[in-house]
Amino acid sequence: MSVFASAAQRTEEQVKPDPDWWRGAVIYQIYPRSYQDSNGDGIGDLAGIRQRLPYIAGLGADAIWISPFFPSPMKDFGYDVTDYRGVDPMFGSVEDFRVLVDDAHHLGLKVMIDLVMSHTSDQHPWFTESRSNRENHKADWYVWADAKPDGSPPNNWLSIFGGSAWEGDSNRLQYYMHNFLTSQPDLNFHNPDVQNELLDMVRFWLELGVDGFRLDTINFYFHSQTLKDNPPLPPEQRNAKTAPAVNPYNYQDHLYDKSQPENIEFLKRFRAVLDEFPAAAAVGEVGDSQRDMEILAEYTRGDDRIHMCYAFDFLAPDPLTAEKVREVAEKFEVGAPDGWSCWAFSNHDVVRHASRWGAFERDPERYLAVIAGILFTLRGSVSIYQGEELGLPEADISYEDLQDPYGIRFWPKFKGRDGARTPMVWSSNLPNGGFTTGKPWLPVPDIHRAMAVNTQQGRDGSIFEFYRDFLEFRRANPALIKGDISFVDTPDDVVAYIRDDGETKILCAFNLGHGPAEFGTGLKLTRLDAPLDGQAGEDGVVKLKALGGYIGRVG
């Protein structure tokens, strides 16, 4: 059965929606500025995404996640919203979005959109009113606080984008809180009117037909009203999971500026809205370097909170090792036994994993294939970032071409996020890789054009064909989608686990080492037709080539 045939069959879900579709789903993330430009202005748009939906369905994805396309001054490229119910004209219109949803559903694809609810743009009408004086109707819609007696900020809280998390305002003679840019003031979730307005917005998009949401910075919604200083972190406890190592943000234990207990009740209200619709779901981004798994467990526990979350364990700079795969997955299983994770190796905020984990220092296609095998067989849902299926490395962007304020602030130690946001490459034979007929908003590297879709489709051994083949194989084996997981002891550099859905048990084994490896299982194994080259003998001994894998049915 072809991938396109399976996608067509999934249209039946439009008649009988599956409320559990998200569990084990493969979600393809689209950064709309960089996916496909339809009008030659150098910026991707909704019409361009519509044009490429058959490609995504053919790859074998179950859903798309579209990064923000709301009206915005674009100081943080859409993560600074001025209208939660609109579409920025550079991307199209609400009607364009409605048609996109219809087309996606016709192809069997769910549509998830990125909701940025922790903060807005400082140009949002709400903030314009809020900052005008201390008595207006929206005076308490944002986080305001008086200065210390010496005029300095209310406390020591820091912004992820550098400097204090507080900015003085001359109208109110107060400070407002911003966890990110100074132009991104934080909403005050302690105000029920703010919550109500945001939940009404959620209904707006659900009524337009979206199937779910990716919730940006889900643990940043509430702050502690005590405004206590965050304590320092000892140097040995600092890590770069949430912010780059050069950022002083890592010097604090963020006990009071985020991840507050009040968030649980809001998430229950949010889930109640989603439950008004037949099969709506959401995935939350948890950014907390010290308590990420604890928070993930709290937020996904039971059936009245968020459906699934992801943390930064596999998005951090640390190399991917067999030991780390087991450690992270088992930590989640222990901390959130009834929760569900969404695993990702790359997204629009981090260095592409082909470069971050040194794929090009090894055999790149084998390395990227074996780690994709791990991603596609762990218990949880999967998020693929556009271009990952081509094995794209991080682009090297010159300072003169930088757009990202984060990179401009911390250059050259941290070059920002633009290297992961360059345009998608469709054709090696067309200008700008077929992304646009105009000047692209970020340059298209020559190394990316050489790896374009047209160079990989139909070519044996290409990363694209591995992704497509493996996702078709995954769909044919339900234990890999919703089954439980238990790990098997293995030699160094090898990670192995059994996926079990109660009917079928499947052993998955992967060798991240530079040499061959083997280990005994004591199991009767029958090799399945995954695009991997490992073998198992009648004695249950699994033999793996360097950067190889094996998947077999148990029993």
Please check the confidence at residue 16 and state whether its pLDDT lies above 80: no
Instruction: Name which residue leads in pLDDT, 479 or 318.
Output: 479
Residue 216 appears among annotated catalytic residues: yes
> What contacts 541, CB < 8 A, 6 or more positions away?
518, 519, 520, 521
More confident site: 244 or 533: 533
Q: 312 or 168, which is more confident? A: 168
Q: 288 catalytic, yes or no?
A: no
H, E, C per residue of 40-100: CCCCCCHHHHHHHHHHHHHHCCCEEEECCCCCCCCCCCCCCCCCCCCCCCCCCCHHHHHHH
pLDDT band for position 17 (50/70/90)? confident
- Note the pLDDT of residue 473: 98
pLDDT at residue number 242: 85
The answer to whether 25 and 422 have CB atoms below 8 angstroms apart is no
Q: Exposed, middle or buried: residue 547 (CB in 10 Å: 0-12, 13-18, 19+)?
A: buried
* Model pLDDT for residues 42-57, shown as the tens digit of each residue: 999 999 999 999 999 9
**Confidence band, pLDDT 50/70/90 cuts, at residue 4:** very low
pLDDT of 338: 85
Distance CA 447, CA 180 (A): 32
Burial of 442 (0-12, 13-18, 19+ CB in 10 A): buried
Pick 484-554's CATH classification: 2.60.40.10, 2.30.30.230, 2.60.40.1180, 1.10.150.530: 2.60.40.1180
Stretch 473-483: mean pLDDT:
98
Please state, rounded to an integer, the average pLDDT across all residues of the chain. 95
Say what the pLDDT of residue 453 is.
Answer: 98
In this prediction, residue 1 carries a pLDDT of 36
Q: Determine the average pLDDT of the residues in 439-446.
A: 98
Q: What is the pLDDT of residue 521?
A: 97
Tokens of 280: 């709506």
Q: What is the pLDDT of residue 54?
A: 98
Domain ranges of the chain: 3-119+192-475, 484-554
pTM for the predicted model, two decimal places: 0.95
Give yes or no on whether 3-119+192-475 and 484-554 have one common fold: no
* Long-range contacts, 247-255 (Cβ 8 Å, 24+): 247/160, 247/162, 247/410, 247/414, 248/158, 248/162, 249/158, 249/159, 249/160, 249/162, 250/289, 251/158, 252/156, 252/157, 252/158, 253/290, 254/230, 254/288, 254/290, 255/224, 255/228, 255/230, 255/231
Tell me: pLDDT of 176 over 70.
yes
Task: Provide mean pLDDT across the span 7-12.
Answer: 48
Looking at residue 15, its pLDDT comes to 55
List beta partners, residue 262. Answer: none
Give residue 360's pLDDT.
Answer: 65
Alpha carbons within 13 angstroms on the beta-carbon side of residue 385 total 24
Task: List CB contacts of 274: < 8 A, sequence separation 6 or more.
Answer: 202, 206, 212, 280, 281, 282
Average pLDDT over residues 82-107: 98
Range in 120-124, 237-241, 320-324, 497-501 the model is least confident about? 237-241
| DSSP track, 430-491 | SGGGGS-SS--SS---HHHHTT-HHHHTT-TT-HHHHHHHHHHHHHT-THHHH-EEEEE---
Residue-level pLDDT at 32: 98
- Residues 430-434 have a mean pLDDT of 98
The encoded tokens of residue 478 equal 């339900």
Catalytic residue among 276, 401, 489, 492: 276
pLDDT at 293: 85
Predicted pLDDT at 12: 47
Beta carbons within 8 Å of 431's beta carbon, 6+ residues apart: 437
Please give the average per-residue pLDDT across 527-533, as a whole number: 97
**3-119+192-475: CATH, from 3.40.1020.10, 3.20.20.80, 3.40.605.10, 3.60.15.10:** 3.20.20.80
List phi, psi (to 5°) of 223. Answer: -115, 165
Q: Which of 3-7, 421-425, 517-521 has the lowest mean pLDDT?
A: 3-7
Q: What are the tens digits of pLDDT across the range 77-90? A: 999 999 999 999 99
- Closest CA relative to residue 76, chosen from 529, 405, 499, 541: 405
Looking at residue 441, its pLDDT comes to 98
Among candidate residues 76, 80, 96, 216, the one labeled active-site is 216
Tokens describing residue 450: 């050489």
What is the enclosing helix (H) or strand (E) of 554?
Answer: strand 549-554
Least confident stretch, 14-23, 30-39, 105-114, 189-198: 14-23
